[in-house]
Structure 1
Amino acid sequence: MITALLTGIAAAPWMRAALRYGAIVVAVVLFLLSIRRAGERAGRMAERLETMENANDVQRQMLDAAARRPRDRGELADRLRNGRF
């Protein structure tokens, strides 16, 4: 029943053209949606990369500060006396 109806509808030349253009429009819309999703995904990845770089910079600064700290009370006192702290 449905196939006979579709065969009858698709038999008209104007309907075949409409179906062809409809299929093209659907394909273009799906393509544009996939490009949009890919762009959003790339944006999220770029944001994640920037966040990781900032966290790594902060961690590097903390490690540098820890490497320059006085080892014991005596070294701290020497730095305070010499004004290098």
Structure 2
Amino acid sequence: MGALIAWFSGSRFALAVGKWAAITLTISLFLLSFRRSGERAGRLAERIEKQEKTNEIQRRMLEAASRRPRNRGELAKRLRDGEF
């Protein structure tokens, strides 16, 4: 049995199978890594898009707050003038 293993491990067939197995494993690992980095990039893009929407909403709120009436008198004046 030991002689069979020694012959098989040194044969051209075993070397070719080993070479192709290593190539296949390398390509598979590369594709898996590529897929994971794509998923990560997608999540980052989604997070950035969500952050941009949040920033836009906050900017609108700040703009609205800057235009608000400062006191009751200003509020009454705006209501009389029909600015609301």
Give the TM-score, by structure 1 length: 0.90
Q: Which runs of 5+ in 1 are unaligned?
A: none
Q: C-alpha separation between the residues in 2 aligned to 1:29 and 1:5? A: 31
Q: C-alpha separation between the residues in 2 aligned to 1:52 and 1:6? A: 61
Q: Over residues 8-32 of structure 1, what are the superposed CA-to-partner deviations in whole Å (9 max), with x where a residue is unaligned?
A: 4321111100000000000000000
In structure 1, the residue matched to 2:23 is 24
Q: Over residues 15-71 of structure 1, what are the superposed CA-to-partner deviations in whole Å (9 max), with x where a residue is unaligned?
A: 100000000000000000000000000000000000000000000000000000000
How many residues matched? 82
1:65 aligns with 2:67: no
Give % identity. 54
After TM superposition, which residue ranges in structure 1, 4 or more long, deviate above 3 angstroms? Answer: 4-8
Q: Which runs of 5+ in 2 are unaligned?
A: none
Give the TM-score, by structure 2 length: 0.91
Q: C-alpha separation between the residues in 2 aligned to 1:6 and 1:62? A: 76
Q: C-alpha separation between the residues in 2 aligned to 1:32 and 1:82? A: 67
1:46 aligns with 2:79: no
Alpha-carbon RMSD: 1.5
